[in-house]
Amino acid sequence: MQSGFTRGFPDKFTVSVSCAAGVESVLKKELFRAFSIEAPAVNGRIEFEGDPLTVARCNINLRTADRVYIKTGCFDARTFDELFDAVKSVRWEDYIPKDGRVYVDGRCVKSALFAVSDCQRIVKKAIADRLCGVYGLNRLPESGSTYKVDFYFYQDKVSFYIDTSGTGLHKRGYRDMVGIAPIKETLAAAMLLMSDFYKTRPFADPFCGSGTFLIEGARIALNIAAGIDRKFAFNEWKNFDKKAYELAFSEAKDKERLGEKPDLRGFDVDKKAVELTLRHAKRAGLEKVIRAEVLPVKKFKPWAEEGTIVSNPPYGERVYGDDDAKKCYRELGEALKGFDGWSAFIITPNKSFEKCFGKKCDRERKLFNAEKECRYYFYYPKKVKQ
């Protein structure tokens, strides 16, 4: 039986949403708040039952997800023959049309089959065999749109996924130029959602770089969906019902709260970084909401009684050396002495941060920025308004 949102897709299937390590609990909350979906997070993924509308909604709305997949199966496989038979038993024809171009990628972890390129070849061959058999072809023409299949081996169990996102979901579309060590949009959103920032609470990033925290913060405040400006792999699929995307898109547009007046300000010592922030804010349609100015952190002052700071200062690698980074942390610590009613949330892998900043954090979490293990330090306000 077909649902109202399928054209060749099964009525229900497993949707699998992936995210960076350390971000699972935030993604879980997002899924629950937005769609009342409750499911456990396992190995950086959350899986639940859904349909094409679920796929469209997750891609458009989730701020912290890396990608949204359709999971097509999970099998035991210790030999290439077992892998071939497992792949061939999957009903790929439910998702991949006659002219679909199949691209296979994958990972092997702690498994007897560990050579990724050999597994890639076997998986591709078995999918082609299955589809040729079903469609009565000698070979796949692969003249249509791309269906990327990912396999993931873990302890001799292999799972198969079709990637519905295409380009990673951190690519929102507003950032077209790169500043110094920009943070991924998905991680920035997760850090904001872990902080106490909300709607109209004054917000500052004293090391704003290309403006990621400011733009993600403004989008959270105005309830602008993360993927509203971009398209996804499934938009190219002729067997994916366009109505599912159109409905998810119009639902997201209806939820925007453009009347809110958030107060987001960015500062950076580098004029080029400030220009970049303003450029990206404009590209995101947020030029009236986000302000940015050139200011060294030692001159950073509060403009409101309370607010939230979320930032990633230099780490002490590449452009800024360790001494420069430590100086930034000291100057940030000194400047924040004047911010009694403000909370601060700072990410860095630099182990000297708390010592240089001059204060132990109230809480910390382990996060990964571009594969680098970092600490996310939480400092709650000294003075809370009664």
Ligand X SMILES: C[S@@+](CC[C@H](N)C(=O)[O-])C[C@H]1O[C@@H](n2cnc3c(N)ncnc32)[C@H](O)[C@@H]1O
List contacts with ligand X (CB under 6 A): 179-183, 206-207, 209-210, 212-213, 268-270, 273, 296-297, 312-314, 320, 328
- Phi and psi at residue 340, in whole multiples of 5°? -55, -40
Least distance in angstroms from the C-beta of 331 to ligand X: 6
Q: Are 356 and 329 in contact (CB under 8 A)?
A: yes
Nearer Cβ to ligand X (65/328):
328
Least distance in angstroms from the C-beta of 282 to ligand X: 16
Nearer Cβ to ligand X (135/368):
368
Least distance in angstroms from the C-beta of 66 to ligand X: 17
Least distance in angstroms from the C-beta of 209 to ligand X: 3
Q: Are 334 and 297 in contact (CB under 8 A)?
A: no
Least distance in angstroms from the C-beta of 207 to ligand X: 3
Helix (H, G, I), strand (E, B) or coil at 218: helix
Long-range contacts, 193-196 (Cβ 8 Å, 24+): 193/26, 193/29, 193/30, 193/63, 193/64, 193/220, 194/26, 194/345, 194/365, 194/376, 194/378, 195/308, 195/310, 195/343, 195/345, 195/378, 196/308, 196/343, 196/380
Nearer Cβ to ligand X (159/312):
312
The sign one gets for the Cα dihedral 114, 116, 122, 126 is positive
Nearer Cβ to ligand X (134/180):
180
Query: Can you name the residues that pair with 75 across neighbouring β-strands?
Result: 158
Nearer Cβ to ligand X (6/210):
210
Q: What is the DSSP string of 310-373?
A: EE----SSTTS-HHHHHHHHHHHHHHGGG-TEEEEEEEE--TTHHHHHTS--SEEEEEEETTEE
Nearer Cβ to ligand X (68/347):
347
- Considering only CA atoms, which of 57, 46, 44, 93 is closest in space to residue 72? 93
Nearer Cβ to ligand X (228/295):
295
Alpha-carbon span 242 to 247, nearest angstrom: 9
Nearer Cβ to ligand X (100/209):
209
| Secondary structure of 86-98 as H, E, C letters | HHHCCCHHHCCCC
Nearer Cβ to ligand X (24/216):
216
Least distance in angstroms from the C-beta of 351 to ligand X: 17
Alpha-carbon span 21 to 96, nearest angstrom: 30
Least distance in angstroms from the C-beta of 190 to ligand X: 13
Nearer Cβ to ligand X (66/268):
268
Q: Are 150 and 141 in contact (CB under 8 A)?
A: no
Residue of minimal Cβ distance to ligand X: 209
Alpha-carbon span 259 to 291, nearest angstrom: 17
Least distance in angstroms from the C-beta of 170 to ligand X: 11
Least distance in angstroms from the C-beta of 261 to ligand X: 24
Least distance in angstroms from the C-beta of 184 to ligand X: 8
Check residue 140 and report its DSSP letter.
-
